[in-house]
Amino acid sequence: MIVAQPKPIKEVLEMVKDFKKILVVGCKGCVTVCNVGGAKEVGILAAAIRIARKRSGQDIEVDEHTLERQCDPEYVDELAETIHEYDAVISIACGVGPQFLSERYPAVRIFPGVNTQFMGGAEAHGIWSERCAGCGTCVVHYFGGLCPIARCSKSLLNGPCGGSSHGKCEISKDVECIWDTIVRKMTEQGRLEELIEFKPPKSWTTARDGGPRRMMREELVK
């Protein structure tokens, strides 16, 4: 899933300080799963804004709405009847959401209420970590099913570097050295030989480096 975290409330209040009627829009996709942008969080953010504004003597009207998904035009359309009633809209979907809203409703001021972090998963309740860098050409099978592009601080394809220490990365004791894990796993699987093979430079044409990406599947295009 796409993992996000809330923007500091001070930052959100600053964004909407000049507005008197706003809409907070959530998304039932990834951000609901990682407890940051679903209907519950829409309610919490809306309440926080109302309370803060009331305290500062600048009342505000805050409405709430949560879409099935903000990354799909058919759901974004749901707001067509009502969105123009608002001075501003805060989207608490991932970074895709505010852009789909901005594109569909060009006259409306759209603000992001969360900071999108990464593609990853939940290690445990309340703990998420990155797994995929979206490079466009998956290579995890060469590395024991683990991705050094997303998970090595230097994206080394021929690791580990000299900074690996006690299974941790040189940048922080809180960061796993994925190459340490890759070596151990490949050794256990009796596949060390494969790691000794030279991995040539990767083509980044399919990654973001190749420019903004677009994908078309002819069989699905109506």
Partner 1 sequence: MSGYKAGSNLEKVLKSGQFAFTGECGPPQGANVEHLREKAGHLKGCVDAVNVTDNQTAVVRMSSWAASLILLQEGLEPNFQMVCRDRNRLAIQSDILGVYSLGVRNMLCLSGDHQSFGNHPDAKNVFDIDSMQLIHTVKTMRDDGKFLNGQDVDVPPKLFIGAASNPFAEPFDFRVYRLAKKIAAGADFIQTQCIYNMDRFREFMKRAVDMGLHEKCYILAGVTPMKSVGMALYMAKQVPGMDVPDSLIQRLRGAGKGKVAEEGIRYALEQIEEFKEMEGVAGVHLMAIEWEHRVPEIAERAGVLPRPVV
Q: Is the peptide bond before 200 cis (omega within 30 degrees of 0)?
A: no
Minimum CB distance to partner 1 smaller for 51 or for 171: 171
Minimum CB distance to partner 1 smaller for 87 or for 180: 180
Q: Binding segment for partner 1 among 50-58, 74-82, 88-96, 193-201 (CB under 8 A)?
A: 193-201
154 contributes a contact to partner 1 by CB under 8 A? yes
Alpha-carbon span 187 to 62, nearest angstrom:
57
Q: Which of 156, 210, 203, 216 is nearest to 182 (CA)?
A: 156
Judged by CB under 8 A, how many residues of this single chain contact partner 1?
A: 32
Q: Which of 9, 7, 6, 2 is nearest to 31 (CA)?
A: 2
Among 21, 56, 73, 204, binds partner 1 (CB under 8 A): 204
Which residues, 159 to 188, sit near partner 1 by CB under 8 A? 159-168, 170-172, 177, 180, 183-184, 187
User: 82 φ, ψ to 5°?
Assistant: -115, -25
Minimum CB distance to partner 1 smaller for 60 or for 152: 152
133 contributes a contact to partner 1 by CB under 8 A? no
Place of tokens 């009331």: 54
Q: Sort strands 88-91 and 110-112 into parallel, antiparallel or unpaired.
A: parallel
Per CB under 8 A, residues contacting partner 1 are 153-168, 170-172, 177, 180, 183-184, 187, 192, 195-196, 198-201, 204
